[in-house]
Chain A
């Protein structure tokens, strides 16, 4: 059975990766497209490892949205779901099911991490971590993809930052890291579709 959402994300991720190759882009915009390719692939992989039963579990689907799917930094936010603040938030919203939900989220986080990191090159892993940890921000003192690129009518000056290679890795290394993720996510989607 075809898995709709993971396939859509993977297609979009591949388009973003293609867009990142355009010559006329400022580097931060290029990195933004790369970040989008990364983010959508991780989400496709995350959804593909869950079975249909897990996805139709409404409370779990809701916390999965809050702590994974609805964020530009999916793995970083998922890791933060183990903090006391996050646990209290889940407890407040689901007083009778919070313990189960926290456990489900933790198990999902560990399993996703394992599926991503199994037999992966340390350099690739390092690049994924750096991409995941870079959040969009208008604060000019922070390294960011400057998304959105406009603050009101004023274009934010992303071009000033020219240390992307040192920060996340060279463009080629980042491209390779993203392609590795495409492969992992693509395999996970195919296998999940066969198992459906």
Chain B
């Protein structure tokens, strides 16, 4: 029987949680893990790692092939909180993906803050686009 969208999402969530837990046990500082819900193929995971090098394009993932325990193509975004915030400010579709993301780690304070930041940035840009959009040109009357 075909799986429902909810069942499939639950399956992916379990896999993402296991992956995040495995990552947390390694000796790299890891502040937050977000599962980005995008329509692009593969599973998108954003990890806030304070020791990553600076990146002017933190929204660009590196793609990895599936593993035994994680059967999905992994689009991995590793970066510093400030680089992700810059990317949120610059790139609206990335901001949307972060705003709709699910925090994964058990203590996701930094992840939640990043989501809130993306939400407020989206609100700010949408209100700006209302106030600064170009006025409709008056028709030439000849």
Contacts and interface: CB of A to CB of B under 8 A. Distances in A.
> In the complex, which of the residues A103, A114, A117 has the most CB atoms of chain B within 10 Å of its own CB atom?
A103
B66 A110 contact: no
Interface of B is mostly: loop
A107 B65 CA distance: 14
Interface string B62-85: 111111110101101011000000
Given A103-B53, A108-B62, A117 B26 contact: yes
A87 B52 CA distance: 13
B55 interface: yes
Nearest to A82: B53
B73 A102 contact: no
A130 interface: no
A111 B73 contact: no
B28 interface: yes
Interface residues of A, number: 29
A110 B64 contact: no
B57 A107 contact: no
Contact of B65 (A49, A108, A110, A113): A49
Contacts of B69: 118
Interface in A79-112: 82, 87, 99-100, 102-104, 106-108, 110-111
Contacts of B78: 103, 106-107, 110
B55 A114 contact: no
A6 to B, nearest CB: 11
B2 interface: no
Contact of A191 (B49, B66, B79): B66
A154 interface: no
Given A106-B52, A114-B26, 7 more contacts: A49-B64, A51-B64, A51-B73, A104-B62, A106-B53, A192-B65, A195-B73
7 contacts: A51-B64, A99-B53, A99-B55, A99-B56, A103-B53, A114-B26, A191-B67
Interface of A: 48-51, 53-54, 82, 87, 99-100, 102-104, 106-108, 110-111, 113-115, 117-119, 187-188, 191-192, 195
